[in-house]
Structure 1
Amino acid sequence: MRKLILYIATSLDGYIARADGRVDWLESIPNPDQLDYGYADFLASVDTTLMGNSTYQTILSFGGDFPYADKLNFVFSRQTSLTDTDYVRFVHEDPATFVKSLKNQPGKDIWLVGGGQLNTILLNAGLIDQFIITLAPVSLGAGIPLFGPGAVETQFKFIKSESFETGFVQVVYETVPPPTHS
């Protein structure tokens, strides 16, 4: 079965973006050696991306070519009027049902790009297998949280961490399956 991996950066106070969706704060932290924090290796390990429509619109606002054109990309939206593009298929069905089916199909791992609402739905459904969270040395004070209201309490198993001279710290966790009661 394919793994669903949430690979994302957060501020130290747990925000993945400003309230308006901007992630400019990630670029404001000096990175003189142009470290990619394992991004290229991670990107090579996945063949599918999942994101909410707000996250998709933010990516489009960066300009340039769509960055995941070589992947199968699904964007979840309640807007049924959206039309598929060359690189994106819009999904209007229940995200948890869709992802359960997707994980059982052949392929590489699946990247949950975000945002907070989709992260919460898939966390609550127990569908995220691994979390690769890169903590940025900045506090935003407000914005879009990693998980939205209603996120269920979930236990994680620590896998590893790595710190970088830029002040970023990357942690990897896996979901601990809930105990089975017999």
Structure 2
Amino acid sequence: MRKLTYFVAATLDGFIASPDSDHSMFLEGQDHGAWVLDNVPETLPTALRQQVPGLAESDNRRFDTVLMGRGTYERGLRDGITSPYRHLRQYVVSAGLDSASDPAVEVVPGDPLDFVRTLKKEDGLGIWLCGGGKAAAALRDEIDELIVKINPVVIGSGVPLFDSGYSPQRYEVVSGRVFDSGVTIMTYAKARP
């Protein structure tokens, strides 16, 4: 069975974007960029993959499908990007979005749980949830793995890692690495009951 992995950058105080969905506070590239290229290169947008020698032609290693929340998808649209991950099957989780701006992107209306459960039963690589907080909250029970790039910055408010009410859910540490830039990449697996 395929796994759903929530791989996302976050601040020390648990936000994945500013209140207006900006990500400029996050450190990009630097020393932790090599970890991303070595471990999850398909999480780079297609336009960036084309800039890394040999990466655009390489096979996906870990994921073949990406799920985005509406805010995450619309952030790319503001920059003119209608299909950010052409090298993956792309889905946008949104109850309010009728259709995507690109035929390579499919909108999943309403409650995405059954849709993700069906995806997990298919053959293939893993499923990457790249954001946002509302989509993560809706899919929280199906998230098998959480990989967080914790950036050494506090912003006070913004889009939370999980935009939901109080409901504790335990995870176990799989691995962790602190980089000289101050970024920490932590991998967690859902704790077994």
Q: What TM-score, normalized by structure 2, do the two folds share? A: 0.82
| Corresponding residue of 1:106 | 123
Correspondence 1:166 to 2:181 = yes
CA change 1:35–1:177 in 2 (3 A) is closer
2:92 aligned partner: 75
Aligned length: 173
Tell me the percent identity. 32
Q: 1:65 to 1:35 in 2, by over 3 A?
A: farther
Other-structure match for 2:143: 128
Q: 1:48 to 1:76 in 2, by over 3 A?
A: same
Indicate conservation of the 8 Å contact 2:21/2:159, yes or no. Answer: yes
User: In 2 relative to 1, CA 92–30 (structure 1 residues): closer, same or farther, beyond 3 Å?
Assistant: closer
The one-letter amino acid paired with 2:67 is L
| C-alpha distance in 1 between matches for 2:148 and 2:28 | 19
Alignment-mate amino acid for residue 158 of structure 1 = V
Q: Gapped runs of 5+ residues in structure 2? A: 43-59
One-letter identity of the residue aligned with 2:155: L
Q: After TM superposition, where is structure 1 displaced by more than 3 Å over at least 4 residues in a row?
A: 62-67
The answer to whether residue 54 in structure 2 is matched with residue 57 in structure 1 is no
Q: Deviations over 1:116-168 (max 9, x none)?
A: 01111111xx2111110010000001101101132521111111100111110
Give TM-score, length-normalised by structure 1.
0.87
Name the residue aligned to 1:18. 18
* C-alpha RMSD of matched pairs (Å): 1.9
Post-superposition shift, 1:61? 2.6
1:97 is displaced (CA, Å) by 1.0
How far apart are the structure 2 equivalents of 1:65 and 1:110? 20
**How is 1:21-32 mapped onto 2 (pairs within 5 angstroms)?**
21-26=21-26, 29=27
- What are structure 1's unaligned runs of at least 5 residues? none
Paired residue for 1:6? 6
Q: Is the 8 A contact 1:161 1:169 kept in 2?
A: yes
Instruction: Look up the match of 2:161.
Output: 146
Alignment check: 8 A CA contact 2:95 2:111 kept: no
CA contact (8 A) 2:9 2:16 kept: yes
